[in-house]
A and B are shown apart, each in its own frame.
Chain A
Amino acid sequence: MILLDRVTKTYNKNGQALERISLHVEPKEFVIIIGPSGAGKSTLLKLLTREEKPTTGKIIVGGIDYETLKDKEIPLLRRKIGVVFQDFKLLPNKTVFENVAFALEIVGMSNKEIENTVPRVLDIVGLKDKEKRMPAELSGGERQRVAIARAIVRQPRILIADEPTGNLDPKHAWDVIRVLEKINKFGTTVILTTHNQEIVNKLKRRVITMEAGSIVSDRAGAEYKG
């Protein structure tokens, strides 16, 4: 599903963000990436969404080789990948419903289909009764669940969650993680970066540890020592 082969990302002469990263993620896997700030987790995710280009190395996601990817094909790629951000990135002037619907409007789904689809997805993330609320009226956990709803509403094969629990208290953090687990059960590959030791330890999934731009360990069911 995801393949990185000796990927290096250098921002300037001195700053090496990623150094010869090789990684393979199978379909339907749930992978947790951990590591201190500046380890290169976010850069790695930005490479996957093609917000950044690798300096060297090969990236293939869902059969698409990024080397041959043209600019105009980038939107099409992003529609296949759901992304959840630490800072939610919701549109403040749109309601919960409209925020989720927006992801479908972009791809040309009809209003009728949107009206059918969005409530079902909001139900999955437990926000069915809040579809008319504005983001400002929601708690952090609820906002993050809106962002997840938006990320999965197009049924992507891959979901990337960049520290989605970073701004949340433990209760809301677990709400979000449970939604991610649920989505993974439906068959979506999930890549999650986090600092939360408890989450890593309880989930018992494949854990990739990064330090200073390199992968230092990659083990199934590993624990986070902090």
Chain B
Amino acid sequence: MSVKQNTVVFKRIVKTGFLNFVRNAWLGIAAMAVMVITLTIILFSIIANATFANTVQQITDRIDVSVYLNDSVTIKQRDELINNLKGLENVEGVTYISKDQALVIYKQQNVGNSDLLTAISQTDNPLPASLQIKPRDPNRIEEIRTYLEKGDIKALQSDETSYSGDRKQAIDKITSATSFFRKAGIAGIIIFAIISMLIIFNTIQMAIFNRRDELTIMRLLGASTNFIRGPFIVESILYGLVSGVLSIIIIQALFSVSSRTFEASSLGILDINYSNTYFREHFFIFLGLQLGVGVLIGAISSLIATRRYLKFKTSK
């Protein structure tokens, strides 16, 4: 066939697909409903994942290791220690806080507490100079700890090192929760994707069954496989597109309801404001993703569903 004829045939396939979509609307509702659920879960998982990651990041950023130095430590010893620490693989940065700076910070932190301020002003500055070590990976803080526990380095320190231990525990909890949600999300996505494929598969097979005489006639008249199959694929792609848009609308609605309900910021580790912002900032990417996945699910399942009915007899 010429290019012109192919174009005409392609237009007819798309048109028939649209007509079938409208005619089979009731049959398609089940397929679309489950596809909407699948796509909503996918989108929800992505946003939840990003939100958890953000929460972890925020807490991680606040984690550091404070090493308090003896007043007797010389500048040379201090610089050597800083350089050695910077040489450790897991150390992102080291900040030196002198005794004077420590006092300024202390005063700032206790602005409202006149007793403490009075106490500190009556003595010579009792606060030690310190090094704030920022780890690259808070889960591997032990490496830094081991280094700091070494005898000669321990001797430079005035107090026990502060490891933000409670924060570490919180991080561990969130990390394991995140990893659980991620796994559950992936499992959910796979299960619902399979279910929606099966339902679309069934819907298309039912549509084919209802029109099997028509398909036989088309075959006998010399319709190509694409001419017969095309409208079914177009129909399923339309299911995918509609479902994609619906899932975006559902998530959007969920956010507007939840933002109004919770007004403020945070539901435990699920920072709704962040989720909402993340969703809005990536809106078009998500829209594309939802439409893409919807189209993919529709196209694959209808391709498989039509395969069986379109084979030519091969037995001799």
- Taking Cβ atoms with an 8 Å cutoff, the residues of A that contact B are 49-56, 71-72, 74-79, 83, 85, 89-91, 102-103, 105-110, 150
Main secondary structure of the interface of B (DSSP, over half): helix
Q: Do A78 and B5 have beta carbons less than 8 Å apart?
A: no
For A76, the chain B residues whose CB sits under 8 A away are 222
Q: Among B28-36, B92-100, B288-296, B308-316, which stretch is in contact with chain A?
A: B308-316
Q: Which of B2, B218, B222, B315 contacts A77 (CB 8 A)?
A: B222
For A105, the chain B residues whose CB sits under 8 A away are 9, 12
Q: Do B222 and A75 have beta carbons less than 8 Å apart?
A: yes
Q: Do B313 and A52 have beta carbons less than 8 Å apart?
A: yes
Alpha-carbon gap, A170 to B119, bound state (A): 124
- Residue of B12, B213, B316 contacting most chain A CB atoms (<10 Å): B316
A-B contact pairs, 13 of them (CB 8 A): A51-B220, A53-B316, A56-B316, A71-B312, A71-B314, A72-B224, A75-B219, A77-B222, A106-B221, A107-B1, A108-B1, A108-B2, A110-B4
Given A107-B5, A108-B5, A108-B8, the answer on whether A150 and B221 have CB atoms closer than 8 Å is: yes
Q: Which of B217, B227, B312, B315 contacts A74 (CB 8 A)?
A: B312
Q: Do B223 and A75 have beta carbons less than 8 Å apart?
A: yes
Q: Do B8 and A78 have beta carbons less than 8 Å apart?
A: no
For B221, the chain A residues whose CB sits under 8 A away are 78-79, 83, 102-103, 106, 150
For A51, the chain B residues whose CB sits under 8 A away are 220, 313
| Interface residue? B113 (CB, 8 A) | no
- 0 or 1 for each of B1-27: is its CB under 8 Å from A? (1 = yes): 110111011001000000000000000
Q: Sort A-B residue pairs by CB-CB distance and give the 5 closest, nearest first.
A: A108-B5, A78-B222, A79-B222, A108-B9, A75-B222
Residue of B nearest to A77 (CB): B222
Given A72-B224, A78-B222, A108-B8, 13 further pairs, Cβ under 8 A:
A53-B313, A53-B316, A71-B311, A72-B225, A75-B222, A89-B217, A103-B221, A106-B9, A106-B224, A108-B6, A109-B5, A110-B4, A110-B8
Alpha-carbon gap, A25 to B12, bound state (A): 37
Alpha-carbon gap, A75 to B9, bound state (A): 14
Alpha-carbon gap, A108 to B315, bound state (A): 31
Alpha-carbon gap, A53 to B216, bound state (A): 17
| Interface residue? B214 (CB, 8 A) | yes
Alpha-carbon gap, A76 to B312, bound state (A): 13
Q: Do A109 and B222 have beta carbons less than 8 Å apart?
A: no
Q: Do A106 and B223 have beta carbons less than 8 Å apart?
A: yes
For B313, the chain A residues whose CB sits under 8 A away are 51-53
Q: Do A49 and B220 have beta carbons less than 8 Å apart?
A: yes
Alpha-carbon gap, A143 to B12, bound state (A): 25
Alpha-carbon gap, A110 to B223, bound state (A): 16
For B220, the chain A residues whose CB sits under 8 A away are 49, 51, 78, 83, 85, 89
Alpha-carbon gap, A54 to B315, bound state (A): 9
For A52, the chain B residues whose CB sits under 8 A away are 313
Q: Do B315 and A53 have beta carbons less than 8 Å apart?
A: yes
Alpha-carbon gap, A83 to B224, bound state (A): 17
Residue of B nearest to A94 (CB): B214
